[in-house]
C-alpha cells in the first residue's frame, strides 16, 4: 500500500510504498494482549517482601506455661497473630516474567503497526531532525501535524537535537527503531515513523 509522507513542517513529501505483510494485517486483540502482558510482566521488579515467622528477630522462648492459665496454648511470640510477629503467606522476592515465543512477539508488533494504520493514526515523516534543538520550534511543528499524544520512532540513531527538544513535551516519546515495542505503540494515540524506521522494520521482517 502507498502512504503519504510529510515533512516535520507539515508539507507534502511524496508517497512511500509500505508492506501489507507488516502494516496491512487485520489486528487481533488476543495477540496484542499477550504481548503487552509479557512486556509488563518483564518490567515488574518483584522485590516486594515481608518477613515470615522464621525471619523475625524475637525471642524463641515459650510465652507462658502450657496449662493452668486459662488462656490458649502458645509457643512462640513470632507467629502472625501477635503484634510484631511474622506475616502469614506474605509476598516474597520472585521473578514475574514468563516466556512468549519469538514468533508471537514479532506478530504482535506487526499487529500493533497494522492497528495504527487501520485507525489512521500512523504518520510517516521523511526525517526526524531538528537543527536548532529548541523545544518551542518542535511544539510549533507538532501543532501543524496535530500531534499531542504520540510515539516517534527514528532510525538507528535519533537526532540529538530532536531528542533534546522532545524531552520537555508532555505525552511525547522518542525512540530509535531498535526500541520499538507493542506497549509503547498502543499507549500513545499517534505513531510517527521516519522513512529510515520504515525501511529498518521492513528489513527486520524480511
| pTM for the predicted model, two decimal places | 0.83
Rg of the chain, C-alpha, whole Å: 27
Is a pLDDT exceeding 90 seen at residue 55? yes
Is a pLDDT exceeding 90 seen at residue 131? no
Is a pLDDT exceeding 90 seen at residue 132? no
Stretch 126-151: mean pLDDT, rounded?
90
Stretch 118-135: mean pLDDT, rounded?
90
Q: What is the pLDDT of residue 81?
A: 93
Cell of 20: 501489507
Alpha-carbon span 2 to 24, nearest angstrom: 11
Stretch 141-159: mean pLDDT, rounded?
92
Q: What is the pLDDT of residue 9?
A: 83
Work out whether the CA dihedral 52, 57, 58, 59 comes out positive or negative.
Answer: positive
Are the beta carbons of 100 and 34 closer than 8 angstroms?
A: yes
pLDDT tens-digit profile of 164-178?
999 989 999 999 999
Is a pLDDT exceeding 90 seen at residue 36? yes
Stretch 70-94: mean pLDDT, rounded?
94
Stretch 95-123: mean pLDDT, rounded?
96
Are the beta carbons of 75 and 5 closer than 8 angstroms?
A: no
Residue 190 φ/ψ region, left for φ over 0, alpha for ψ in the -120 to 50 degree band, beta for the rest: beta
Are the beta carbons of 3 and 122 closer than 8 angstroms?
A: yes
pLDDT tens-digit profile of 83-92?
999 999 999 9
Alpha-carbon span 156 to 198, nearest angstrom: 11
Amino acid at each position: 500500500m502507498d502512504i503519504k509522507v510529510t515533512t516535520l513542517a507539515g508539507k507534502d513529501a511524496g508517497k512511500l510504498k509500505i508492506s501489507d505483510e507488516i502494516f496491512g494485517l487485520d489486528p487481533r486483540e488476543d495477540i496484542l494482549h499477550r504481548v503487552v502482558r509479557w512486556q509488563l510482566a518483564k518490567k515488574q521488579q518483584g522485590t516486594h517482601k515481608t518477613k515470615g515467622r522464621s525471619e523475625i528477630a524475637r525471642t524463641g522462648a515459650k510465652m507462658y506455661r502450657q496449662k493452668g492459665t486459662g488462656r490458649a496454648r502458645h509457643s512462640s511470640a513470632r507467629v502472625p497473630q501477635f503484634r510484631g510477629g511474622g506475616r502469614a503467606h506474605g509476598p516474597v522476592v520472585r521473578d514475574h516474567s514468563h516466556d512468549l515465543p519469538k514468533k508471537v512477539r514479532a506478530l504482535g508488533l506487526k499487529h500493533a503497526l497494522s492497528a495504527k494504520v487501520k485507525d489512521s493514526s500512523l504518520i510517516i515523516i521523511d526525517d526526524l531532525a531538528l537543527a536548532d534543538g529548541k523545544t518551542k520550534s518542535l511544539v510549533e511543528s507538532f501543532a501543524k501535524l496535530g500531534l499531542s499524544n504520540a510515539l516517534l520512532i527514528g532510525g538507528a540513531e535519533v537526532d540529538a537535537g530532536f531528542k533534546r527538544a522532545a524531552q520537555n513535551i508532555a505525552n511525547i516519546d522518542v525512540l530509535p527503531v531498535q526500541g520499538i515495542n507493542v506497549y509503547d505503540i498502543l499507549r500513545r494515540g499517534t505513531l510517527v515513523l521516519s522513512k529510515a524506521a520504515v525501511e529498518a522494520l521492513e528489513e527486520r521482517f524480511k
